[in-house]
Amino acid sequence: MIHPEAAIHPQALVDGVAIGARTVVWQFATVILGTRIGEDCSVGASAVLSGPRFGNRCKISSGVVMGPGFWVGDDVFVGPNVVLANDMWPEVSTEGYDDARLRGGKRFAVVIEDGVSIGANAVVLPGVRVGKGSVIAAGAVVDRNVPDGFLFRRNGYLSEVPQDRRQKRMRLVDQC
């Protein structure tokens, strides 16, 4: 069911989904096959969502790709071209892959807790849980769990999220 207060761009493909109030789906986005998106979210242009579940107030940037088997909490930022993977050994054959199990909504390949920010071009591999308030660096390949409030860097190093991260957001803009 699509809430009547949701806004779907006429050039988006949306079918067989649940979308909450005041959520916006932008042009060329594909949102299909049981995807559930909460209230006050934004789905960027050219995102492809086929079965993940999102809480409220999430921003799903352009070019994001997610199939079934992903739980994304509230207030999550998913940067441009982020990919969540649900199959550790993908191949052409579907032998050993249980799509129905992932689409059932009781088992998840990746869990993203509330308040997480995932930087551009990051990849999150199956079996990973990203804890509340964590940050994934742009370009990182996340191959293990990330504790609450930690930063997962491109080199796999974990550190606490800096207290002053919001003040540092634009520090490189004036250096170019």
How high does pLDDT run on average in the chain?
93
DSSP strand pairing (158-160 vs 150-152):
antiparallel
pLDDT at position 107, please?
83
pLDDT digits (tens, 9 = 90+) for 117-169: 999 999 999 999 999 999 999 999 999 999 999 999 999 999 999 888 877 77
pLDDT at position 106, please?
80
The structural domains of the chain, with segments of one domain joined by +, span: 7-175
Contacts of 164 (CB under 8 A, 6+ apart): none
Longest distance between any two alpha carbons in the chain, whole Å: 52
Q: How far apart are CA 148 and CA 114, in angstroms?
A: 10
Contacts of 69 (CB under 8 A, 6+ apart): 51, 52, 86, 102, 103, 107, 108, 109, 110, 126
pLDDT at position 176, please?
61
CATH code at 7-175: 2.160.10.10
pLDDT digits (tens, 9 = 90+) for 68-97: 999 999 999 999 999 999 988 888 988 888
Structure tokens at 89: 């050994």
Q: 3-class SS at 5? A: coil
Query: Cα–chain-centroid distance for residue 93?
Result: 26
Q: How far apart are CA 85 and CA 75, in angstroms?
A: 21
Q: What is the pTM of this model?
A: 0.92
